[in-house]
A and B are shown apart, each in its own frame.
Chain A
Amino acid sequence: MSKLTLKTEGDTHVIVTRRFAAPPEAVYRAHTEPKLIQKWLLGPEGWTMPVCINDAKAGGKFRYEWKNGKGAGFHITGEFLELEPYNRIVHVERMHLPDPTPDNHIETLFEADGAGTLMTMRMTLPDGKTRAAMLATGMERGMEASYVRLEGML
């Protein structure tokens, strides 16, 4: 059974939920402290995040850069709109591929769930077309490894 759900809602939303064994405080910190973010927000195997700068306060900016060690890379920039330790983060982000994609508005909730945490990410894109393009191209990097595995199976 997968612990993760990913679904679209209406024309412009993408909702991701995931349960974690740790309390909200730890999950929140792992989403806001660069040293922790750099350990897991990496995408497919072989990718690293050499640059992880953020100013985790309302109005603060962030910049995350990924590299695959073979010359490929991309980065995202964004701003924090609201931060409620350790329950809620609201931010906007865009990918630079290298042209910036339309802003993705993301609200992330961390709710206590027994001894663990239920995380709910609600992404809002400007319109249905942008959402389709985001799902197809924006998240594509995370899918490369899956594709390779799948092609090997066919």
Chain B
Amino acid sequence: MDDLDAAFSALADPTRRAILARLANGEATVNELAEPFEMTQPAISQHLKVLEDAGLIVRRVEGTKRPRRLAKAGIEAMDQWLAMLRKALETNYDRLDEVLAGMEKNKEGKKKGKKR
């Protein structure tokens, strides 16, 4: 439960979700991760620490670099997150189903009206 709580509070921040999404494309250094966000390196490092503490990412030592990649829990979190994204889109499309049903009914109603 504690792990899950940490994982979800880590995921509650859009920058951290974006970092995870970036790491889903493969390993990246802090500089590479900082680039798209117009954030300072220390700010990104702070986000990385939260993700690391939550067990979502791991670091590797390569000379002076510390490239990060997704941990197993991070991969699972990404899967869950994509599932949530699907669900959010589905909310819109469920509404569209109703709109379409309404359009069909309207059309039938008009046809009937003409016959009379």
Enumerate chain A interface residues (CB-CB to B < 8 A): 2-6, 11, 16, 18, 20-22, 26-27, 29-30, 36, 39-45, 128-133, 135-137, 139-140, 142-143, 145-147, 150-151, 154
Contact, CB under 8 Å: A132 / B95: no
Interface string of B71-103 (1 = CB under 8 A from A): 000000000001011111111110111111101
Assess the A30–B14 pair: CB atoms within 8 A: no
B86 touches A20 (CB 8 A): no
Q: Is the CB of B100 within 8 A of A22?
A: yes
Task: Name B residues whose Cβ lies closer than 8 Å to a Cβ of A.
Answer: 1, 4-5, 8, 12, 14-15, 17-18, 20-22, 24-25, 35-37, 82, 84-93, 95-101, 103-104
Query: Could you tell me the distance between the alpha carbons of A135 and B91 in the complex, rounded to whole angstroms?
Result: 17
Across the interface, do A147 and B25 meet the contact criterion of CB distance under 8 Å? no
B36 & A130 in contact (Cβ 8 Å cutoff)? yes
Which secondary structure characterizes the binding site on chain A? helix
Complex: A25 Cα to B18 Cα, angstroms: 37
- Residue of B24, B35, B37, B86 with most chain A CB atoms under a 10 A cut-off: B86
User: Given contacts A4-B90, A40-B95, could you give 6 more A-B pairs where the C-beta distance is less than 8 Å?
Assistant: A42-B92, A44-B88, A132-B25, A133-B22, A136-B14, A145-B91
